[in-house]
């Protein structure tokens, strides 16, 4: 049987908008074996609720349709069969599950700690009875590099290697992360990232709270994607309780999401150009980003629109002058966007740094289900606004730009193209905002639900189980879980000095995966 058929042969557990299938450990192992021969079935996330290992898959066809499949398996003896044997992208998730819930992946590719740096004072804090950690923190383990690695173009034994350690504290005001380079001269043979420094205990903070109360934690999972994560969380709660947001609220959510997308894409384009020592582009992109943030504050009361999306709808309606403020900011950007693109095209020093740098091969992007500009620059057209889709996007006209080069240049050009598409979407949304309420009451009850939202990085996914109207278990999945390993692969064969532009062109969230 196919992996999808094996999943669907399990016991369906009520969940919305699609069921979750409960598999025995033996059936789960059969699914893992079948996955090895089915690269099209994309793994989006893996987590636990303490009793079960839960995985979310996307089976998308070439026409943009498909289905979502959620599989789960009981942990026997605090263990479950590893998914990473068939899906290498599961390795980081498996390490996280081991750190938080103490559930190990039998036969997994990597069992090193991930979020747990040995300084929590307890082990497996998400379990019912966390155990005190008695051993002193150990220094982190990094993978070795005995010469070249596959795809680097360097043969084993071709010369001496040395290590370069960067971070977790960096020269700029950015999030903390440690990067360990193995290099031959200036050429990178292996890069390994070590994150977890901004772990906040988000999942534990959500437990036992109502969706409305816990929404503040979702909004702060990764501040630059606060709208997207708030929206995914809200949709998970609404699905669990079968209470959709009113149409006007759905439209206002989309306005916020597209403003967030444009603002972050402008910031990324400017930051990438700034790392190539080209000051004019970040200056102009920064100016337009500031105008958008001011418009967001005028329209919704907060520059980043934090806590504006809540379960059941939105916290408040569009301000009286909000549409005009947004329209003015969009008009200014729309007028200069062609010139910004021309400026990028005509600057040879930028092309010299961007073109052919940090290439992510399309087959790797597909294997790791890369989304957002990272995936689209390498030929993967996945977009949660299209599939599985959510209101109001099915009724709107927009394109999902893709390229095949997979380098830094392609990721910049995808962002510029997406800015244009978001401008088009905002015009449609603001010209046809429906009337009506902006918030629905959430009834107390039991249920399980999934929610998704297309952030500027790709699809953000949330899962909630509610009991008596309170959160009994949940998980929040930022798209960066799937992108950080790809950055490690894309930098191989490049020089260390090109890491900043590669890193910014991926722009993985640190906080988003640190939970």
pLDDT tens, per residue, the chain with 515 residues: 899 999 999 999 999 999 999 999 999 999 999 999 898 899 999 999 999 999 999 987 655 567 999 999 999 999 999 999 999 999 999 999 999 999 999 999 999 999 999 999 999 999 988 888 877 777 888 887 653 333 333 334 446 889 999 989 887 778 999 999 999 999 999 999 999 999 999 999 999 999 999 999 999 999 999 999 999 999 999 999 999 999 999 999 999 999 999 999 999 999 999 999 899 999 999 999 999 999 999 999 999 999 999 999 999 999 999 999 999 999 999 999 999 999 999 998 898 999 999 999 999 999 999 999 999 999 999 999 999 999 999 999 999 999 999 999 999 999 999 999 999 999 999 999 999 999 999 999 999 999 999 999 999 999 999 999 999 999 999 999 999 999 999 999 999 999 999 999 999 999 999 99
Domain boundary among 112, 132, 152: 132
How would you classify the pairing of strands 313-314 and 447-454?
unpaired
**299 domain-assigned:** yes
Q: Residues 403, 416: contact at Cβ < 8 Å?
A: no
**Same-domain check for residues 216 and 114:** no
**Same-domain check for residues 128 and 243:** no
pLDDT at 134: 78
**Same-domain check for residues 123 and 243:** no
**Same-domain check for residues 208 and 59:** no
User: Can you give the CATH number for the domain in which 116 is found?
Assistant: 3.30.460.80
User: Can you give the CATH number for the domain in which 447 is found?
Assistant: 1.10.645.10
**Same-domain check for residues 39 and 117:** yes
Q: Residues 376, 400: contact at Cβ < 8 Å?
A: yes
Structural domain of residue 300, as residue ranges? Answer: 202-514
| Domains of the chain: total | 2
CA nearest 447: which of 13, 11, 69? 13
- How far apart CA 42 and CA 297 sit, in angstroms, is 38
pLDDT at 146: 54
**378 domain-assigned:** yes
pLDDT at 145: 67
**150 domain-assigned:** no
Domain boundary among 91, 117, 132: 132
3-state secondary structure of 498: helix
**75 domain-assigned:** yes
**51 domain-assigned:** yes
**Same-domain check for residues 351 and 435:** yes
Q: Residues 100, 125: contact at Cβ < 8 Å?
A: yes
- How far apart CA 233 and CA 217 sit, in angstroms, is 10
**Same-domain check for residues 121 and 221:** no
Task: Please give the backbone phi and psi of residue 182, each rounded to the nearest 5 degrees, phi first.
Answer: -105, 125
Domain boundary among 103, 132, 161: 132
**Same-domain check for residues 212 and 350:** yes
- How far apart CA 515 and CA 406 sit, in angstroms, is 29
**Same-domain check for residues 314 and 457:** yes
**149 domain-assigned:** no
**Of how many residues is the chain composed?**
515
**Same-domain check for residues 424 and 277:** yes
Q: What is the value of pTM for the model shown?
A: 0.95
CA nearest 472: which of 128, 239, 206, 233? 206
The CA-CA-CA angle for residues 299, 300, 305, to 5°, reads 125
Contacts of 129 (CB under 8 A, 6+ apart): none
**Same-domain check for residues 97 and 220:** no
**196 domain-assigned:** no
Q: 60 burial class (0-12, 13-18, 19+ CB within 10 angstroms)?
A: buried
**249 domain-assigned:** yes
- How far apart CA 63 and CA 190 sit, in angstroms, is 37
**Same-domain check for residues 110 and 247:** no
């Amino acid at each position: 049987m196919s992996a999808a058929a094996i999943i669907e042969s399990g016991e369906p557990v009520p969940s919305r908008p699609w069921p979750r299938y409960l598999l025995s450990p033996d059936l789960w192992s059969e699914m893992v074996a079948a996955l090895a021969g089915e690269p099209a079935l994309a793994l989006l996330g893996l987590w636990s609720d303490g009793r079960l290992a839960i995985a979310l898959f996307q089976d998308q066809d070439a026409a943009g349709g498909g289905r979502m499949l959620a599989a789960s398996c009981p942990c026997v003896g605090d263990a479950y069969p590893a998914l990473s044997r068939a899906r290498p992208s599961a390795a980081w998730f498996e390490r996280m599950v081991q750190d938080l819930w103490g559930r190990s992946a039998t036969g997994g590719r990597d069992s090193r700690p991930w979020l747990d740096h040995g300084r929590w004072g307890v082990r497996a804090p998400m379990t019912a009875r966390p155990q005190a950690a008695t051993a002193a923190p150990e220094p982190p383990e990094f993978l070795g590099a005995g010469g070249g690695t596959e795809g680097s173009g360097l043969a084993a034994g071709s010369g001496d290697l040395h290590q370069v350690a960067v971070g977790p504290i960096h020269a700029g005001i950015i999030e903390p992360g440690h990067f360990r380079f193995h290099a031959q001269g200036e050429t990178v043979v292996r890069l390994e990232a070590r994150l977890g420094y901004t772990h906040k205990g988000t999942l534990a903070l959500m437990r036992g709270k109502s969706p409305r109360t816990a929404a503040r934690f979702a909004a702060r999972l990764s501040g630059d994607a606060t709208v997207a994560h708030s929206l995914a969380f809200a949709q998970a709660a609404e699905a669990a309780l079968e209470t959709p947001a009113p149409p006007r609220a759905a439209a206002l959510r989309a306005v916020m999401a597209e403003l967030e997308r444009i603002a972050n894409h402008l910031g990324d384009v400017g930051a990438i150009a700034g790392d190539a020592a080209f000051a004019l582009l970040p200056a102009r992109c920064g100016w337009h980003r500031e105008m958008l943030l001011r418009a967001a504050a005028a329209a919704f009361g907060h520059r980043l629109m934090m806590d504006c999306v809540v379960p059941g709808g939105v916290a408040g309606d569009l301000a009286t002058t909000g549409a005009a403020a947004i329209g003015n900011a969009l008009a200014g950007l729309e007028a200069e966007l062609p010139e910004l693109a021309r400026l990028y095209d005509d600057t040879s020093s930028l092309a010299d740094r961007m073109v052919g740098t940090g290439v992510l091969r399309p087959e790797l992007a597909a294997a790791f289900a890369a989304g957002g500009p990272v995936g689209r620059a390498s030929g993967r057209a996945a977009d949660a606004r299209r599939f599985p889709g959510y209101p109001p996007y099915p009724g709107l006209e927009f394109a999902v730009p893709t390229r095949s080069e997979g380098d830094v240049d392609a990721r910049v050009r995808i962002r510029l193209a997406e800015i244009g598409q978001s401008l088009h979407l905002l015009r449609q949304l603001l010209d046809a905002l429906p009337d009506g309420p902006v918030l629905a009451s959430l009834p107390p009850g039991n249920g399980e639900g999934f929610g998704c939202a297309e952030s500027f990085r790709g699809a953000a996914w949330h899962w909630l189980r509610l009991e008596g109207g309170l959160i009994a278990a949940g998980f929040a999945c930022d798209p960066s879980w799937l992108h950080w390993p790809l950055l490690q692969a894309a930098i191989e064969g490049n020089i260390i000095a090109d890491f900043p532009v590669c890193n910014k062109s991926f722009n993985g969230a640190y906080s988003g995966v640190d939970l």
